[in-house]
Amino acid sequence: MIISVASGKGGTGKTTVATSMALSVKKITPLTFLDCDVEEPNAHIFLNPVISETERVKTVIPEVDEKKCTHCGKCSELCAFNALAVLDTITLVFGELCHACGSCWYFCPENAITQKEKEIGIIEMGRVRDINFIHGKLNIGEAMSPPLIKAVKDKISPQETVIIDAPPGTSCPVISSVKDTDFCVLVTEPTAFGLNDLMLSVGMLREMNIPCGVIINRAGIGDDRVINYCKAEHIPVLMEIPLHKKIASLYARGIPVVDGMPEYIEQFQSVYHTIERVIRS
Amino acid sequence: MRELLVISGKGGTGKTSIVGSFAALANSTVLVDCDVDAANLHLLLNPKIKEKHEFYGLKKAEINEQKCISCGLCEELCHFGAVKNGSINQYLCEGCGFCFHACPENAIMLKDNVSGEWFISDTCYGPMVHAKLGIAEDNSGKLVAEIRKKARNIAQDENINLIITDGPPGIGCPVISALSGIDLALIVTEPTLSGIHDLKRVVELTRHFGVETAVCINKYDLDEDNTNTIENYCQEEDIMIVGKIIFDPAMTRAMMKGRPVIESPELAISKQINIMYNKLYSKLIS
């Protein structure tokens, strides 16, 4: 069973929920935790895993052999991502724009293009408190996170119980993260911004056919618009976490909520059981 | 013309609330919301949409079943796993066109794909350009580039010398696109361990692209130790801290009402934002 934790925008408490849920659920089932927010991974700050293995993740970009290249321009004409520019005497490769689709080296009439490996980030794996921990870190300046997210997700098998901390938004990085998950927990806050972003996320999950539920964080700061929306759309509200200075201060210091406030363990376990029931039904 | 970009590493640090207040403080500015994934600035500035345009992302491949002889070449060649059993998964198709060019039967078409919309609007603080990327669509970087170009055109046409941009979160494709050609990037951070972690990564990013950077510590009174850590870090790295803003629920209340907090200028938080804006403005024009 794979559960993803997402939110339309950042800062709603995704990592707070994902880490505390993991620490609560590991008492019920063996667990793997994935931080797929490879642009700004944060879960390790709260879980402090001991990293035992590091893997470099590479993608390929074209490399042009100028001795063979006739500057015919075919490659740049074919490239949908503008990653190649052919000038009179040289062919330029813009590696950060390349999606590694393979067109250029496949079609080059002179066989002048080969594949060159390029590191886009790293995966770190380890263990903490009986949890398998895996996260990815995108290299700074690298635009394309989905291949790294995919490499992180390739580390799991579908039989495992997995909790995935997803990146914010509703585009490629989130899609790559929540894809093939059995259930998605959407963390939001009861504000105008929270509702706007929640609606976008729900739209995304419906298109992808992934069941979802909502956890409302900082309950009490806003109004009922989020609750009313969930009711109208028949989306279960799995839990409400009140706005609490202690929670904010635990977060600031990098302490998981359930470590500072163990009374939440049971609540997160019951969220997990609810999700189990939804998936099995 | 000068361009200020507000970014944050991760979302939820108060970027949009601060940009909303800057909009009210600027005499004359073009506003841009580059968080095309989950745009929020419109919730504060209540724009009246004047123009609506479709955004075309990359074309998507589609198989013509009448022509297809099921040779399987497209499935074999596709690096994104988008072709399965003779049909193309539109979510996975990146629009590279490899299959289209390679198909021996010309059985694959590339179809136009409207992947979002962008708008030119009026707000009571000036023109605003914003966008909405379609759900599950890619190419956010290209859409960001497009609306930024439009904003520059408007600034030129209307003789406005300042563009204030609300940036996307993260350090990936849309942020990189938002950073190009910016005069000054303001990074909004908060005094939490994850905030510090994200700040360092986004500082590396602005360095990588050679963009001048300033920092604002939002909710600085939440955790003084962490605020000190941020101040020390910025000093070591020679980054100017242009503002420290207190935690005040008035910020959330203003957001719920759909107004920038600065409209209550008597609040301490509004005064802090005002001072920060003036510092940024003089840095921008110097």
User: In this predicted model, what pLDDT tens digit does every residue of A2-59 receive, in sequence order?
Assistant: 999 999 778 899 999 999 999 999 999 999 999 999 999 999 999 999 999 999 999 9
Residue of B nearest to A8 (CA): B38
Measured CA distances, A37 to A54, A145, B204 (Å): 17, 9, 17
Asked if residue B57 has pLDDT above 90, the reply is no
Looking at residue A73, its pLDDT comes to: 95
pLDDT tens for B210-222 read 999 999 999 999 9
A and B: number of Cβ contacts within 8 A: 179
Measured CA distances, B55 to A23, A180, B118, B173 (Å): 43, 28, 7, 17
Q: pTM for the whole thing?
A: 0.91
Cβ pair A192:B223 closer than 8 A: no
Looking at residue B141, its pLDDT comes to: 86
Nearest partner of B271 among B253, B247, B245, B252, judged by Cα: B245
Confidence class of residue B191 from pLDDT cuts 50, 70 and 90? very high
| Residues B166 and B33: beta-carbon distance below 8 Å | yes
pLDDT tens for A184-199 read 999 999 999 999 999 9
Question: Edge-to-edge strand order for the sheet containing A131-138?
Answer: A50-64, A113-128, A131-138, A31-35, A161-165, A2-6, A183-188, A212-219, A237-242
Asked if residue A120 has pLDDT above 90, the reply is yes
Residue of A nearest to B77 (CA): A102
Radius of gyration (Cα) for chain B, nearest Å?
A: 22
Query: Which residues of chain A have a CB within 8 Å of the CB of B43?
Result: 192-193, 196
Nearest partner of B5 among B280, B275, B231, judged by Cα: B280
For residue B192, give the nearest of A170, A200, A251 by CB distance: A251
Query: Which residues of chain A have a CB within 8 Å of the CB of B210?
Result: none
Residue of A nearest to B9 (CA): A40
Cβ pair B170:A45 closer than 8 A: no
Cβ pair B171:A169 closer than 8 A: no
Nearest partner of B146 among B22, B49, B43, B53, judged by Cα: B53
Q: Give the strand pairing for A91-93 and A237-242.
A: unpaired
Of residues B139 and B277, more confidence is placed in B277
Query: Which residues of chain A have a CB within 8 Å of the CB of B222?
Result: 248-249, 252
For B:201-260, CB contacts with A below 8 A are 201-202, 204-205, 208-209, 222-223, 226, 249, 252, 255-256, 258
Asked if residue B91 has pLDDT above 90, the reply is no
pLDDT tens for B94-144 read 899 999 999 999 999 999 999 899 999 999 999 999 999 887 777 788 899
What is the pLDDT of chain B when averaged over all its residues?
A: 94
- Which region among A17-31, B82-96, B191-205 has the lowest average model confidence (pLDDT)? B82-96
Looking at residue A171, its pLDDT comes to: 82
pLDDT tens for A64-115 read 999 999 999 999 999 999 999 999 999 999 988 899 999 999 999 999 999 9
In A159-278 the beta strands, taken as DSSP E runs, fall at: 161-165, 183-188, 212-219, 237-242
Cβ pair A102:B98 closer than 8 A: yes
For residue B10, give the nearest of A10, A204, A221 by CB distance: A10
